[in-house]
Amino acid sequence: MMNGTAGALYWETCGPEDGETVVLSAGLGGSGKYWASQIPALAERYRVLVYDQFGTGRSPGEVPELYTVADMAAELDVLLAETTAGPVHFVGHALGGLIGLELARLSPERVGSLLLINAWAEPNAYSSRCFSVRRKLLISEGPEAYLEAQPLFLYPPVWIAENSDWLEQETAHQLAGFPPPENLLHRLRALQAWKIAPEELAEVQAGSLVLATRDDALVPWNCSQKLAAGLPCSSVQLLPAGGHAINVTEPERFNALMLNHLRKYRLPTATITTQEAS
């Protein structure tokens, strides 16, 4: 495994260094640790690059008030310029998917394929209400209450009931490393403000799979359908269950779908830059 910092971001790689590169981009939490159930399956064949988004996890810093999703993509663009030459497979969850779309517009040569999980192309009233509640909860009650409520938006009720011990441990871990609340509030604002015009979406030429779940309690599944309809080289797969974070609740099923998607798009193998090799 290699790790380091590029620009403002902490990153790690694992898997064969001569393999095709898969970039994993988390949602609002921003931490590369979100992908713990995917990394072993990917690392058997692919060079896996995970990173902590700016102002989260091991990428400390003060997120500016007028931060945007385009800024997040530009930061990742710097990381890839310093660590990887050639196109990558991009796997993004929710906000991470929006970052992938912006990256594909900013530097289309970097993105060979996209897997977008419970993502969207424009705000919707339901998700906006959920994000508003989470924002008010963080401001009025603080991080502990925010994290206690978070699973209600991410996971199905039965899964929450059956995994209470894991959730308690995960909440304690997240609370210990909780970012400055202003960072999260500014990231929330960026997420809620993001939308992409149809003509901009049509610029994204990377082969894309848009994955959605019917029981997502945060992003209505038809938002993913609308996103896929606007992408010129995409397909959509709608799953009956799994919640917003299906890669956590049903990792084996998700991993199989992910690997099948990646096999459809063969990319040049990774070229490691001087910065990473050192």
Q: For 146-163, write each residue's pLDDT tens digit.
A: 999 999 999 999 999 999
Among 114, 128, 125, smallest CA distance to 73 is for 114
Q: Which distant-in-sequence residues (6+ apart) come within 8 Å of 55 by Cβ?
A: 30, 61, 62, 63, 179, 180, 183, 186, 187
What does the CA dihedral 168, 145, 248, 34 come to, rounded to 10 degrees? -100
- Amino acid identity, position 21: T
**Ramachandran assignment for 224, one of left (phi > 0), alpha (psi -120 to 50 degrees), beta (any other):** alpha
The partner residues of 85 in beta bridges, in order of sequence, read: 271
The packing angle between helices 125-141 and 181-193, to 10°, is: 170
| Residue that is written with structure tokens 């999703």 in the block | 69
Which pLDDT score, from 0 to 100, does residue 7 have? 81
Round to whole Å and give the CA distance between 29 and 123. Answer: 19
Q: Which distant-in-sequence residues (6+ apart) come within 8 Å of 195 by Cβ?
A: 121, 122, 123
* Every domain of the chain and the residues it spans: 2-271
Which pLDDT score, from 0 to 100, does residue 136 have? 98
Which pLDDT score, from 0 to 100, does residue 6 have? 79
Decide: helix, strand or coil at residue 214. coil
Among 72, 123, 78, 128, smallest CA distance to 100 is for 72
Which pLDDT score, from 0 to 100, does residue 241 have? 97
Which CATH number is associated with domain 2-271?
3.40.50.1820
Kindly list the averaged pLDDT for each block of 10 residues, start to end, along the chain of length 278.
86 95 98 97 97 97 97 97 94 98 97 98 97 98 97 98 97 96 98 96 96 98 97 96 98 98 85 44
Decide: helix, strand or coil at residue 92. strand
Round to whole Å and give the CA distance between 165 and 248. Answer: 15
Cβ–Cβ under 8 Å, residues 47 and 40: no
Tokens in use for 234?
Answer: 């995409």
Round to whole Å and give the CA distance between 96 and 25. Answer: 5
Round to whole Å and give the CA distance between 219 and 147. Answer: 18
- Eight-class DSSP state of 59: B
Which pLDDT score, from 0 to 100, does residue 269 have? 66
